[in-house]
Amino acid sequence: MDLKKENRLLHARLRELTRKAQENQETLGRFHARELELLGAETLPELLSCMTEGLKTSFEIESLHLMLHDPNHEIRHLLYKNGLDEKAFPLLEFVDDMVTVNPRFQRLRSPWLGSFLSPEYDLLFSDPAGIESIAILPMVRHNRLIGSINLGSSEQSRFSRQLATDFLARLATICSVCLENTVNREHILISGLTDPLTELHNRRYLDRRLDEELARAGRYRQPLSCLFIDADHFKQINDTYGHQAGDIVLRELANRIRSQLRASDIATRFGGEEFALLLPQTCLNEALMLAERIRMEVNSQPIPLDNGSTLQLSVSIGVSETLPLSSKSQQKADGQRLLANADQALYTAKANGRNRIEYHQTDKALPDEINSSER
């Protein structure tokens, strides 16, 4: 080989190495920025967005699927309390048992790279079509598998077994730590918004969520309903059986209310023996039917007390509905009116004999089963 040709080859090789070095530097820069985003995420929705769409953008790949081990629905409930659900994150899946998804998770504790094999790896992605190579990044905390970040590429060589996995292992560790810290932080935040006796949310939480739900209802032109529920003759219960029995009654009442609700419904202890519920995407008739189910559930069986006796409880319920305007300035007034109307309807229910449901007057007809005056 002559010297000129050899020099040309060396220059070409140098240019290729320089290009690769620049690409690697850009990639490292992208991922460093993404790591800072992960570490700086202050809420669970913000973190999940960064771990899904954010990482997919950084990797510049066709497929990413985040699987989180959530057997007790702990993370899902935290999402619901943020006013969101799984549908807000198309690249996210909650699973009760990682091993049933793929037996490899039984022992996998470090990144695995290789060819995509169907059907063995089909369940790792929401849409496995076109995937040629994959990287499975197990998320581990305290030697416990808490999830997996699954990357898929249409390039056969993108994730080969010969590639080093140090960087991927570091990324999985950062994601794991961030998830654990964020979940713990959300729990601490929610504990300050929770009534310790009933484990329902408190009035402070209701005020916060009311603003959020009004904004959402106004944006999408959807109804928002409210229920005010009051335990009948509760003062008499306290006077007759004592405050400890009163606490038992309130806890059981909260449980019976909770048993009738959807995950998206917001139940709070408003104060004393009064409970307030916000029902997103729920019209007046639907709210009235829910109110009747709650009333019947409370009436269904006596509440056992510590002294061996039982107590038959009933509730009075006031119902209201709003279709808030999209104007933010008007939404505050809509929210105050929604609560005031439900409270007034509750007052009417108690004045009319208790153990019944009343609603704020609108031009809507009541369902037949609610119109009955026999409660």
Task: Return the top range by mean pLDDT from 190-194, 216-220, 268-272.
Answer: 268-272
Element containing residue 149 per DSSP (H, E): strand 144-153
Which value, in Å, is the radius of gyration of the alpha carbons in the chain? 28
User: Alpha-carbon distance 257 to 293, whole Å?
Assistant: 9
- pLDDT, position 180: 95
Q: Which fold does the domain 203-371 belong to in CATH?
A: Alpha-Beta Plaits (3.30.70)
Q: How far is CA 65 from the centre of its chain?
A: 18
| Rounded distance between C-alpha atoms, residue 27 and residue 211, angstroms | 41
Which of 23-37, 173-187, 206-220, 301-315 is the least confident region?
A: 23-37
Are 132 and 159 spatial neighbours (Cβ–Cβ below 8 Å)?
A: no
Q: Which helix (H) or strand (E) holds 235?
A: helix 234-241
Q: Model confidence at 190, in pLDDT bands (50, 70, 90)?
A: confident
Q: Does the pLDDT of residue 19 top 50, yes or no?
A: yes
Residues 107-120: tens digit of each pLDDT: 999 999 999 998 88
Rounded Cα distance between 63 and 173, Å, is: 20
pLDDT at res. 16? 66
| Spatial separation of the C-alpha atoms in residues 104 and 64, rounded to whole Å | 18
The predicted pLDDT at position 369 comes to 46
**% of the chain beyond a pLDDT of 90:** 64
Label residues 163-191 b or e (16+ Cβ within 10 Å = b): eebeebbebbebbbebbeebbeebeeeee
Look at residue 229 in the predicted model and tell me its pLDDT: 98
Q: Cα 104 to the chain's mean position, in Å?
A: 28
Average pLDDT for 1-25 = 67
User: Encoding tokens for residue 103?
Assistant: 């037996």
| pLDDT, tens only, 137-177 | 999 999 999 999 999 999 998 998 888 888 899 999 999 99
Element (H, E) at 141: strand 133-141
Of the candidates 63, 67, 141, 153, the one whose C-alpha atom is nearest the C-alpha of residue 113 is: 153
Cβ burial of 336 (10 Å; 0-12, 13-18, 19+) is exposed
Phi, psi of 279 (to 5 degrees): -125, 95
- For the chain, residues classed under CATH 3.30.70.270 are 203-371
CATH 3.40.190.10 holds for 3-191:
no
CATH 3.30.450.40 range(s) for the chain read 3-191
Secondary structure element (H or E) that encloses residue 94, with its range: strand 92-95
pLDDT-based confidence at residue 18 (cuts at 50, 70, 90): low
Question: At residue 368, does pLDDT exceed 60?
Answer: no
- pLDDT-derived band at 21 (thresholds 50, 70, 90) equals low
Distance of CA 312 to the CA centre of its chain: 35
Query: Which of 22-31, 67-76, 344-353 comes out lowest in average pLDDT?
Result: 22-31
CA–CA distance, 267 with 285 (Å, rounded to integer) = 19
CB 146, CB 140: distance < 8 Å: yes
- Catalytic residue numbers read 273
Tell me: pLDDT of 127 over 70. Answer: yes
Contact (Cβ atoms closer than 8 angstroms) between residue 79 and residue 105? no
**Using CA atoms, how far apart are residues 87 and 69, in angstroms rounded to an integer?**
17
Give the pLDDT confidence score for residue 161 in this predicted structure: 87
Report the candidate in 227, 256, 223, 230 with the shortest Cα–Cα distance to residue 318. 227
